[in-house]
Structure 1
Amino acid sequence: MEVQLIRTEANYQEALREIELLFNAAPNTPDYDRLDVLTTLVEAYEKTHFPIELPDPIKAIQYYMDTREWSRRDLEPCLGSRARVSEILSRKRSLTLEMIRRLNQELGIPAEILIQPYESAQTSA
């Protein structure tokens, strides 16, 4: 099995074509092993050349609320009072570490999203 690092767009496209051909390879076969190696190389190339930025923490909270059909009131156990929820969502107050922990546990929002710096009235003032 001769496999090369993916260094160019042409290498990348070639690897994608080969992955498509090997996609239904049976487990524990040389083709399956080649598929596994190629997908690992493609993932590494994509991570370097097509990075996906993490979403804004407040937009992530709003997305998670929308997908679960949560209201602002549903956030109160995570963020505190109704006023605190309003302050957070309107960016007048930043998330605290305890809020981040609760949002991670209750909504499943990854902590790495919530701990990012984001624009708020506190940071822009």
Structure 2
Amino acid sequence: METIRPIKTEQDYELALKKLEMIFHAKPNTPEGDLLEVLSLLVHEYEQKHYKIERLSPLEALKYEMEEQGLSQTGLAKRVGMSKSTISEIMNGKKQMSINFMKFLHNELGIPAHILLAY
């Protein structure tokens, strides 16, 4: 049986990732499946401490989603029924997003509500 230790260094982390890759398709309730589960937890904990991803602001999320969907400011303005100048003001941080606009972003572009309401 393999000895499992906490991940304390970047080298430990890299070794754990390699091991995870080797046993990624292990079946549940087998020794390899148990090792996969435990290593996954250790890797997750290490990543939470050392590679924490900051949440996007509503505006960053909007810009990201527009890029992903190939949507210009003009295209967004047409889809939401707003003027391009209003969209431009929102994109430049000069105007706040309205509740109706945030609902549109959530329902039509798929931006999670908790991100839109975070700030």
Bigger shift: 97-106 or 56-65? Answer: 56-65
Q: Which residue of 2 aligns with 1:83?
A: 85
Q: Which moved more, 1:76-85 or 1:57-66?
A: 76-85
Match for residue 103 of structure 2 among 101, 112, 117: 101
Change (3 A) 1:101 1:48: farther
The gaps in structure 2 that reach 5 residues or longer are none
**CA offset digits 1:41-68 (Å, max 9, x no partner):** 2112201221011234323322222221
Q: CA RMSD in A?
A: 2.6
- Judged with a 3 Å threshold, the aligned counterparts in structure 2 of structure 1 residues 63 and 13 are, in CA distance, closer, same or farther, namely closer
Question: 1:35-54 counterparts in 2 under 5 A?
Answer: 35-54=36-55
Structure-2 separation of matches of 1:3 and 1:14: 12
TM-score, normalised by the number of residues in structure 1: 0.70
Alignment match, 1:61: 62
Q: Please say which of residues 46-55 and 77-86 is displaced more in the overlay.
A: 77-86
**Displaced runs of 4 or more, over 6 A:** none
Instruction: Indicate whether 1:20 and 2:56 are aligned.
Output: no
CA distance in 2, matches of 1:86, 1:79: 14
How many residues are treated as equivalent by the alignment?
A: 116
| Stretches of structure 1 lacking an aligned partner (at least 5 in a row) | 118-125
Mapped partners of 1:93, 1:54: distance in 2: 21
- TM superposition shift of 1:28: 4.1
Distance change in 2, residues 1:91/1:38 (3 Å)? same
Q: Using the alignment, how far apart are the partners of 1:102 and 1:51 within structure 2?
A: 29
